[in-house]
Amino acid sequence: MTDLKRKRVVITGVGAITPIGNTPTEYWEGLINGRNGIGEITRFDASKHTCRIAGEVKNFDPHDYMDRKEAKRMDLFSQFGVSAAKQAVADAQLVINDLNAEQVGVMIGSGVGGIKVLEDQQIVYLNRGPSRCSPFMIPMMIANMAAGLTAIHTGAKGPNSCAVTACAAGSNAIGDAFRIIQGGYAQAMICGGCEAAITPLSVAGFAAARALSFRNDDPTHACRPFDKDRDGFVMGEGSGILILEELEYALSRGARIYGEIVGYAMTCDAYHMTSPVPGGTGAIRAMSLALKDGGISPEQVSYINAHGTSTPANDPTETTAIKAVFGEHAYKVAVSSTKSMTGHLLGGSGGIEAVATTLAIANDKIPPTINLENPDPECDLDYVPHTSRDQTVDVALSNSFGFGGHNVALVFKKYH
């Protein structure tokens, strides 16, 4: 696809269900005020778990977005995804009808899918036998169902798919949606990520892999990206959704434009199941290729929403990769990890972080990295500690890296 054939792609709507707010406005206010969404797990009795903390969504009522019968037939991850998608469609004032339905698609990624219903049905199977398992188990469990149900609820009949690339899934979904519009295969896409993996088995598995923080006595300080006392990530849940539109289509209907997405790249480390490749070469290539794709020089970038997981391996590796891509400008660009407030939403993280990056551009304000009290000497960039910053944000980068060696970078810019 040559540059002459590429369509410009703009962002016209956002939706967010997060541990610090259940609307985009609440989420953004939480970010810029450094609100902490992490606490003791209430979803289940975690007293026997080595990790007993998470970033849970609070006061979420799916019936605000669907009737009781529909909600009952959805796993929580799909409830989050459909609800955030409906917010985003409403925010964009995008009317989907017989005239445009085939030109509106859905791409919503999830790293884990419906693990809650799988765990529940395993208990039913063991205690009551196979004949008592729910006929809705499979359609509630499979990871593509948030995308499928979003189409059912909105009427979008265009391209529809689900990225399942662990913690890169939400960003992959946004990037793939961007490519679809760029290539002229749809006029608008509902895209992002969702996750609801705060379950007994899921938490036990991540804890056994020694990926999680065990700071159970101090949950609000457990997620501390780039801090030398970090000990692992804190699981979060929720969904972040963008409405992407082909520029001319957005202008034709008088849509409000938050910003533009101009670059996307994905690479693989081909190194290890869970650990990043030493030196961050996969992340380096992803960021470099995304900037090249968008025709952006490193010096143009104002802000990087880092993957910033608060794990011993990720934070210095990502820092090294940023330095390799940006050179001396790495010390001039603002870098922050919003996971310090929300926890790590796994496949949903790229979605809510794309929303955060979009709103940083729209509001010229950079969210902080909270809990950065004892900086790691290996992590010596400007991580916007503790307090948000008023600063013009013309171009921003959002990073997502997932188990399996998946690396994704997205480039956003102000719309002119």
What does the domain layout of the chain look like in residue ranges?
A: 3-252, 264-413
Asked if CATH classification 3.40.30.10 holds for the domain at 3-252, the reply, yes or no, is no
**pLDDT per residue over 203-262, tens digit each?**
999 999 999 999 999 999 999 999 999 999 999 999 999 999 999 999 999 999 999 999
Rounded-to-integer distance, Cα 316 and Cα 228, Å: 10
Look at residue 17 and tell me whether its pLDDT is greater than 50.
yes
Rounded-to-integer distance, Cα 262 and Cα 6, Å: 10
Backbone angles phi, psi at 114, to 5 degrees: -85, 65
Only one residue has tokens 């017989």, namely: 98
pLDDT, position 4: 58
pLDDT, position 402: 97
pLDDT, position 1: 47
Q: Which run of H or of E encompasses 261? A: strand 259-268
The CATH code that applies to domain 264-413 is: 3.40.47.10
Mean pLDDT for the stretch of residues 113-141: 97
Q: Find, among 170, 156, 150, 144, the residue nearest to 65 by Cα.
A: 150
Q: What Rg value do the Cα atoms of the chain yield, rounded? A: 20
pLDDT, position 5: 81
Burial class (CB in 10 A: 0-12, 13-18, 19+), 205: middle
With a CB cutoff of 8 Å and minimum separation 6, the contacts of 12 are 91, 92, 94, 188, 243, 244, 245, 250, 255, 256, 257, 258
pLDDT, position 3: 52
Mean pLDDT for the stretch of residues 368-388: 98
For residues 38 and 268, the answer to whether their CB atoms sit within 8 Å is no
DSSP label of 6? P
Look at residue 51 and tell me whether its pLDDT is greater than 70.
yes
DSSP label of 331? G
Q: Residue 106: how many CB atoms within 10 A of its CB?
A: 32
Q: Find, among 148, 143, 168, 158, the residue nearest to 189 by Cα.
A: 158
Look at residue 285 and tell me whether its pLDDT is greater than 50.
yes
Strands of 112-212 (E only): list them. Answer: 160-161, 188-195
Number of C-alpha atoms within 13 angstroms, CB side, residue 211? 22
Q: Indicate left, alpha or beta for 107 from its phi (over 0: left) and psi (-120 to 50: alpha).
A: beta
Picking from 3-7, 68-72, 259-263, which range would have the lowest pLDDT averaged per residue? 3-7
Mean pLDDT for the stretch of residues 111-130: 97
Do 3-252 and 264-413 agree at the fold level?
yes
Mean pLDDT for the stretch of residues 51-63: 98
Rounded-to-integer distance, Cα 168 and Cα 110, Å: 9
CA torsion 297-388-392-416 (nearest 10°) is 80
pLDDT, position 2: 45
Strands of 247-368 (E only): list them. Answer: 259-268, 303-305, 334-336, 365-366
Number of C-alpha atoms within 13 angstroms, CB side, residue 322? 32
Chain centroid, CA 400 distance in Å: 8
Rounded-to-integer distance, Cα 154 and Cα 372, Å: 41
Number of C-alpha atoms within 13 angstroms, CB side, residue 199? 17
Question: Model pTM greater than 0.95?
Answer: yes
DSSP label of 8? P
Q: Supply the residues annotated as catalytic.
A: 167, 307, 344
**pLDDT per residue over 293-317, tens digit each?**
999 999 999 999 999 999 999 999 9
The single-letter code of the amino acid at 342 is T
Rounded-to-integer distance, Cα 132 and Cα 25, Å: 43
**pLDDT per residue over 323-365, tens digit each?**
999 999 999 999 999 999 999 999 999 999 999 999 999 999 9
End-to-end CA distance of the chain: 23
| Average model confidence (pLDDT) across the chain | 97
Mean pLDDT for the stretch of residues 48-74: 97
Rounded-to-integer distance, Cα 398 and Cα 171, Å: 8
Number of C-alpha atoms within 13 angstroms, CB side, residue 222? 27
Strands of 224-355 (E only): list them. Answer: 238-246, 259-268, 303-305, 334-336
